[in-house]
Amino acid sequence: MESSEKCCIVCGQKQVEGIAIWKAFICQSCEQEMVQTDVLDDKYPFFVERMKQIWKMEA
CB of 16 to Zn ion, least distance (A): 11
Q: Which amino acid is at 55?
A: W
Per CB under 5 A, residues contacting Zn ion are 8, 10-11, 27, 30
Q: With respect to Zn ion, which residue has the nearer C-beta, 10 or 24?
A: 10
Q: With respect to Zn ion, which residue has the nearer C-beta, 46 or 56?
A: 46
Separation of alpha carbons 23 and 52, rounded Å: 13
CB of 58 to Zn ion, least distance (A): 19
Alpha-carbon distance values, 34 to 3, 21, 53, 59 (Å): 26, 14, 15, 24
